[in-house]
Structure 1
Amino acid sequence: MTTTHDFWLAGRRASGDADFEVHNSWDGRLVGRVSVPTAAQVEEALDAAVAALPVFAATPAHQRAAALDHVAKRLAERTEEIARLITAENGKPIKWARGEVGRAVSVFRWAAEEARRTNGETMRLDTDPGGVGRFAVVRKFPRGVVLGIAPFNFPLNLVAHKVAPAIAVGAPIILKPAPATPLSALVLGEILAETDLPAGSWSVLTVPNDRMPALVQDRRLPVISFTGSDKVGYQIMDSVPRKHTTLELGGNAAAVVLADWSSEADLDWAATRIAMFSNYQGGQSCISVQRVIADASVYDALVEKVVAKVKAQVTGDPNDDATDVGPLVDENAAKRVESWVEDAVAKGAKVLTGGSREGATYAPTVLAELPADAILAKAEVFGPVLSLHRVDGVDEAFAAVNDSPFGLQAGVFTHDLQTAFRAHRELEVGGVVIGDAPSYRADQMPYGGVKDSGVGREGVKYAMDDYTVEKVMVLTGLDL
């Protein structure tokens, strides 16, 4: 009999009066049933979070850091179990699922360290005559209860990026995992329940998406951290303009290969990284390689290598250690990718490899001569599809990168330091990776985009900044 998984209400297990099913996208099997909170239980969680706010904000740094250290330790101990669960609910190949658990360990470890060293600042105010005898202490305090809305593509690590910074600053959090992939978040709840965090400081509520607007509108949740599609993200922001909202949205990341990246070894490296990171989560990553922009002098040689390396990606059972590319999150996602490729081909694009679907799996695909009016030319495919573009020189390459409604990250393969700094200055993205694909992310670095890719930054310290507000205390009558 399949287990029905409880949710977590104010730090304790709870079950509602309904449930939903989670299926494996590779073989369709039932992975588990998940209980859905009632409206009254959601209210209870929100009231508990509000009540916990002053208590949690006042907890000593060592207590919050110890809880975060415990989570990091237990995630590491349970790596294989949790990785198997990620693969079961998400379809992610097991080797990438293990990597995701490792990254979540890092997020909680970084949060523990940041909790210990967040000190605020002081400043003397006698820089002007009116400030003689005055001294300021500036500290950061939680803005309020956080609503964290997580996506399906990294069901543990992107949950960690919501939860860990909140714990680090003492901000209660209501976490809403993606309905397609709630099981990893519920296991995280098991581990959080082993800590001595205050009652009400966290809840994991497995509510369906049609109940999300009520949470978004609730005045008890003044901070919203959302990762997902640009359409939904900006709907949230537009609906609550007075709330503090962080949006980590989509992208159609470009990998630029310039003329100086021309040796056999250079092109092998670029092709290897492009092939891997256009497909590594089935393309279901906001910074997976979607566009390859190559200088005309290296284009032909690069195309040959990219196509060969994409063909070498092993597609199949995500439970197999040898598998590089598994299914998408469900068959509808694969059908959408299929329709976008068909649209591109109908408008003149050429399929160099791939271009076929079997159930929820879409074959790793490379397109050339993609027309500007194809959906794939501007939208985020969120699937294992990349397009190749020939340009002449750096000016044209950087203009092509910027010719996008999105601006999350870009990769630039160049040896030239001046060009690297120019890319950093001119590319309209939140991050530039030199000598590698745009898909690199370290969990402590600021991560986020510009344009339709969102507002605000993740990365533990930067999310902590988003969850808090500076408050100043002025002391008077002091001999400085």
Structure 2
Amino acid sequence: MSELLLNHLSGRAQAGTGPGTALHDPVLGTELARVDATGLDLAAGFAFAREQAGPALRALTYAQRGALLAAVGKVLQANRDRYYEISTANSGTVKNDTAVDVDGGIYTLGTYAKLGEGLGERKHLLDGEMVRLGKDPAFQSQHVLLPTRGVALFINAFNFPSWGLWEKAGPALLSGVPVIVKPATATAWLTQRMVQDVVEAGILPPGALSVVCGSSAGLMDQLQPFDVVSFTGSAETAAIIRSHPAVARGSVRVNIEADSINSAVLLPDAGSESLDLFVKEVAREMTQKSGQKCTAIRRAFVPSDLYDAAAQAIAARLAKTTVGNPRNETVRMGALVSRGQLAAVRGGLAELQQHTEVLHDGSQQALVDADPAVACCMAPTLLGARDPDGNPVVHDLEVFGPVATLMPYRDAAHAFALVRRGQGSLVASLYGSDAGALSAAALELADSHGRVHVISPDVAATQTGHGNVMPQSLHGGPGRAGGGEELGGLRALNFYHRRAAVQASTGVLQNLAA
């Protein structure tokens, strides 16, 4: 039997008492490790974080906590090569895709370390200015933000075991809130190893960073009113979390990132250079992380007279994408994370194919250094829907893999209406060369998206990518996307703070700013 990975809870390493669940190499099929949370005293673990780690973190200033994050980043950077190995083995990612997860997580953590330094030697934040409560200016109101006296529980998805941890943990720890992370079982190894390395380095107060690998049973039951929970995953699980008594009756604060049918739109009269940028980005988003990104392009819209040209250009790019074993230097796209995920993607693709035409058939591509009977590899498939108005399935069904659907539109208003049929998404990207048209389109779509990514020829070399989540910008989305918000620079700290109004004399309020 392979190694049983340790949980870290109550300030110490703990093994589960059960046989564990096996983690597998999605390309070779070999067992890598086992995870198990059976027998853990979850109540004691949450209490330890709340009562020991929380006060220790809150005793520090933002600058001091930022320095801790910087030290954590150095530990992660020192072990970076090992994390790459784990990602290749457990997630089946090629090096460029591993970089998005591992290096992206370290970069995000470093960003919050620097923000902490900028906040200085304070232990609370002011929200706005003092406001008079009457004609006499002697008595006023000042809103303040203070760290919540609870625990942050993260229930994370399988696709970003590094970035998914640190984009949440960075703002939480900077805020002074201890973290307990439950990674998705299939790819838990990288999260577990990173937490273990940081805990063993002794940088953070004991219990400030914990990891529970295996079943999530009982975790939500430990939540108390001043705790927070952040979830990334399916809408079905999100509904269960929202209906849990801790949330429904205890008012535990919840952040949800769920399904998202993201879009890319080539604007009318965009020009050939913008068409090329659109084609390149759609193909990249279909293949990066094998399409296993919550921000990946699922629907691509073009003017009707460019439908055939766009289909041919995207298909030509996809045909050049080598798929297979990420250890082979010629491979540009690795595997889906598990046989279960492969089956789910194939099932979703089959359903979409009943309502679309196949513009590029990935099933015809041979795998490189991978046995199709064992490997969870799947080449990209581009579908087309010439009647997007009468085809509700393409706007409702998300296939979480290397699949996208190309659709034509009549005019800009028609395109925007089709995009909004996604019922709220994490991101939409726009392609064109007219600054005025791009600005108008961005504002038209901003109310139904967490982020609008605008790509024009003048930023072709510097734009950060449709699906690349940067810590300086908001990540989240309304409606179907979950209604949550993460990152956005210092905005991320709001989730881990409690806002209150202090009504007092001007002299008292001035002391709050000291």
What TM-score do you get using the length of structure 1 for normalisation? 0.92
The Cα shift of 1:92 comes to: 1.9
Query: Is 2:452 the counterpart of 1:432?
Result: yes
Counterpart of 2:156 in structure 1 is 150
- The answer (yes or no) to whether the contact 2:264–2:429 under 8 Å persists in 1 is yes
CA distance in 1, matches of 2:269, 2:428: 18
CA distance in 2, matches of 1:401, 1:133: 50
The Cα shift of 1:269 comes to: 2.4
The Cα shift of 1:477 comes to: 7.1
The Cα shift of 1:390 comes to: 1.1
For 1:193-226, what per-residue CA distance to the aligned partner results, in whole angstroms no more than 9, with x for missing partners?
Answer: 21432222221111314x1xx3223333621111
CA distance in 2, matches of 1:370, 1:325: 28
The Cα shift of 1:298 comes to: 2.5
Query: Is 2:470 the counterpart of 1:471?
Result: no
Q: 1:144 to 1:423 in 2, by over 3 A?
A: farther
CA distance in 2, matches of 1:362, 1:195: 42
- The answer (yes or no) to whether the contact 2:281–2:466 under 8 Å persists in 1 is no
Amino acid at match of 1:51: E
CA distance in 2, matches of 1:197, 1:341: 45
CA distance in 2, matches of 1:254, 1:319: 32
Query: Is 2:98 the counterpart of 1:115?
Result: no
Counterpart of 2:346 in structure 1 is 338
Structure 1: tracts of 5 or more residues without a match: none
Query: Is 2:429 the counterpart of 1:414?
Result: no
CA distance in 1, matches of 2:363, 2:419: 24
Counterpart of 1:182 in structure 2 is 188
Query: Is 2:288 the counterpart of 1:277?
Result: no
- The answer (yes or no) to whether the contact 1:253–1:438 under 8 Å persists in 2 is no
The Cα shift of 1:73 comes to: 1.6
- The answer (yes or no) to whether the contact 1:7–1:186 under 8 Å persists in 2 is yes
- The answer (yes or no) to whether the contact 1:449–1:455 under 8 Å persists in 2 is yes
- The answer (yes or no) to whether the contact 1:259–1:295 under 8 Å persists in 2 is yes
CA distance in 1, matches of 2:343, 2:103: 31
Q: Pick from 390, 401, 409 the counterpart of residue 383 of structure 1.
A: 401
Query: Is 2:216 the counterpart of 1:198?
Result: no
Identity %: 24
CA distance in 1, matches of 2:507, 2:353: 75
Amino acid at match of 1:478: G
Counterpart of 1:222 in structure 2 is 227
The Cα shift of 1:407 comes to: 1.6
- The answer (yes or no) to whether the contact 2:315–2:359 under 8 Å persists in 1 is no
Counterpart of 2:268 in structure 1 is 259
- The answer (yes or no) to whether the contact 2:266–2:301 under 8 Å persists in 1 is yes
Query: Is 2:311 the counterpart of 1:303?
Result: yes
CA distance in 1, matches of 2:411, 2:466: 20
CA distance in 1, matches of 2:359, 2:350: 10
Question: SS of the counterpart of 1:63?
Answer: helix
Query: Is 2:328 the counterpart of 1:320?
Result: yes
Counterpart of 2:491 in structure 1 is 462
Counterpart of 2:379 in structure 1 is 363
Counterpart of 2:253 in structure 1 is 244
CA distance in 2, matches of 1:462, 1:126: 26
- The answer (yes or no) to whether the contact 1:64–1:167 under 8 Å persists in 2 is yes
The Cα shift of 1:294 comes to: 0.4
What TM-score do you get using the length of structure 2 for normalisation? 0.86
Question: SS of the counterpart of 1:362?
Answer: coil
Query: Is 2:474 the counterpart of 1:446?
Result: yes
Amino acid at match of 2:376: A
CA distance in 2, matches of 1:6, 1:143: 27
Q: 1:184 to 1:271 in 2, by over 3 A?
A: same
Q: 1:478 to 1:292 in 2, by over 3 A?
A: closer
Amino acid at match of 2:25: N
